[in-house]
Structures are given as structure tokens and as C-alpha cells.
Structure 1
Amino acid sequence: MSKYFGSAYQFGTLGGILSLVAFGVMSWLQPDPTNLNLIFGYVITPVSIFLALKYFKDYSNNGYISFSEGMSVGFVTYLIIGLISGLGIWIILLIFPDFFESIKASKLEVLESSRETIVSQVGEESYQSTLTNVKAMVPFDIALNDTIWKIIPGLFFSIIISIILRKNPN
């Protein structure tokens, strides 16, 4: 089992920690670091998956990797990234409730400034529903959103990278 997932544990943990560091650094740069952290996740997730698959292929599997092995190692990698990042963000927001409130206020401000555009595109009822949901937001919601947006793209990155690195013994 460690043959298959040793590299996934290493690079998934590294990616999750880097994502948390990015969240912390971006929180000093602006009041709502969540959107930039998602963008950073689109960079760190494929890099971590690539490194985990390349390491597995070169050092654990004699230079070969099948598509299914790539998908398995990739799955564990992006799952670990998402869980570490989401859990860390949740803990940070619980420890610093004022920080959470500033993120929430920023999201409400963006929603209010975009009101006309949103209402014209999806209607007043959808806008009011979104406004109610943002007002009821808790720290776990932000953490869950971050986790989901690390896992979903991770699936697609794993597919692409597994195809690129695939090499079966003949």
C-alpha cells in the first residue's frame, strides 16, 4: 500500500500546507483571501499531482505507471490537499472570528455592489436567496468550499496528468 500511496501522502501534505500558507499570506494582503486561495489551488493542485505521479513512476514503480495507478495516486493526493487545506482554514477561522466576519462582510459588499447585474441575470428571488445564504454563512462553509474546489479540479488534473505520464511495460 505504501508503494502506491507514499508519494501521494508526501506531495498531498506538501500541497495542503502550501495552500494554508498561501491563505495566511493572502489574508494580510486583502480582507477576503478566499478567491485568491482558490486560484492558488488551481496552481498547486496540478503541480502536487504531477510530482506525486512522477515520483511514483520513477522511484516506486520502475519507470512505469498505468492510468489506473495514476488515478489512484492522484485521488489520494488531491484528497489530502483538500482535507488539509479545508481543515486548516476552518481552524484559522474559528480561532480568529473577527477575520471570518471581515471575509463575510467582504462577500456581502461584493454581492450588494453586483446586485443589478445578478438580478438581471438570475432574478430577484435568486439574489435574495444568495443574500440570505451569505448572511447565514459560518466558518465551516468557507472551509468546505475550499475543500470542494481543491477536489473537483484535482479529478480533472489527475485524468490529464495520468494520461500524459502513462507508460505500461510491454
Structure 2
Amino acid sequence: MNKYFKSAYLFGILGGVLGLISFFVLSFFKEDPTTLNLIFGYVIVPISVYLALKYFKDYSNQGYLSFAEGMSVGFVTYMLIAIISFLGIWVLLSLEPDLFEIIKSSKINTLAESKETIVSQVGENSFLATMESVKNMVISDVAINDAIWKIVPGLFFTIIISIILRKNPN
């Protein structure tokens, strides 16, 4: 079983650490690093999944990769990225509550600036409910949101990359 997950551990941890570094560095340059960090996640997750699957195929499985093996290795990879990202962001925001307050106020301001557009598309009640949920946001909400947006594209890219790299023995 370890042969299946050696590459997943390696590239999942690497991707998670890169995601944390991204969040930390972006927090110095932008008052709300969450949006740009999500975009960085859309880049790092597929690269990490691809490298994990390619490494597994070439170095652990004699050049073969079934779809099921690809999905298993990919799942562990993107889940590790999400878990490390969640824990790191949660710890960082817990240690820096001022950064969390800046993120929260930035999201409230963005929502207020877009009020007319949002109300015209989804209605006043939806806007008010969204504004209330953002005002009640806690640190774990920011971390969970980041983790979810590592898992969703991770699943999508794992399926595609597993199909592309699939090679079964004859």
C-alpha cells in the first residue's frame, strides 16, 4: 500500500507547503490574500497531482497506471494539499487576528460595492443573507473555503490526468 502513496505524500505535502507560502507572501502584498491564493491553488493542485501520478507511474509501478490507481494517488495528493492548507491558514489567522479582520472587512466592502448587481441577479433577501453570513464569518470559514477550493479542482484534474496518463499492462 505504501508504494501507492509515496508519491502522493511527497507531492501533496509539497503542494500544501507551497499553498501556505503563497498565502503568507500574498498577505504582505494584498490586504485580502484569499482570492489570489485560490488562483494559485488552481495552478499548484493540478501540477502536484500530475507530478504525483507521473512519479507513481514511472518510478513505483513499472510504467503502468490504472484509472483506479490514478484516482487513489490523486485523491491523497489533493486531500493532503487541502488539509495542510486548511491547518496552516487557520493557524496563521489565529496568530494574526488583525489579518483575519482585514480579510473580513475586505469581503464586506466588496459585497457592499456589488450590492446593486447582486440584488438585481438574486434578490434583496439573498444579498442580506450573504451579508449577514460574511459579518458572522470566523477564522475556520476562511480556512475551510480555501481547502474546499483545493478539493474541487483536485477531483476534476485527477480524473482528467488519470485518464491521460492511464496505461494498463497488456
SS in 2 for 1:143: helix
User: How many angstroms does 1:166 deviate by?
Assistant: 0.4
Q: Which amino acid aligns with 1:98?
A: D
What whole-Å deviation, never above 9, does each CA across 1:88-140 have from its counterpart, x for those lacking one? Answer: 00110000000000000000000000000000110000000000000000000
**1:54 equivalenced with 2:54 (yes/no):** yes
Tell me what 1:73 maps to: 73
Superposed, which structure 2 residues align to 1:151-170 within 5 Å?
151-170=151-170
Amino acid at match of 2:135: K
- TM-score, normalised by the number of residues in structure 2: 0.99
Aligned to 1:91: 91
Q: Distance in 2 between matches of 1:89 and 1:134?
A: 18
Q: Distance in 1 between matches of 2:86 and 2:43?
A: 16
Residue 25 (structure 1) aligns with: 25
Please give the root-mean-square deviation of Cα atoms over the aligned residues, in Å: 0.4
**Matched AA of 1:79:** M
Distance in 2, Cα, partners of 1:46 & 1:153: 8
Task: Tell me the residue number matched to 2:135.
Answer: 135
Residue equivalent to 2:126: 126
The 2-side partners of 1:153 and 1:46 are apart by: 8
In 2, the alpha carbon distance for the partners of 1:99 and 1:34 equals 11
Residue 35 of structure 1 and its aligned partner are, at CA, apart by 0.6
The sequence identity of aligned pairs, in percent, is 67
Q: What residue ranges of structure 2 are gaps of 5+ in the alignment?
A: none
Deviation track 1:35-57 (CA, whole Å, cap 9, x = no partner) reads: 11000000000000000000000
Moved over 2 A (4+): none
Specify the code of the residue in structure 2 equivalent to 1:132: E
TM-score normalised by length of structure 1: 0.99
- Offset at residue 64 of structure 1 (A): 0.4
Q: C-alpha offsets along residues 2-21 of structure 1, whole Å, 9 cap, x if unaligned?
A: 10000000000000000000
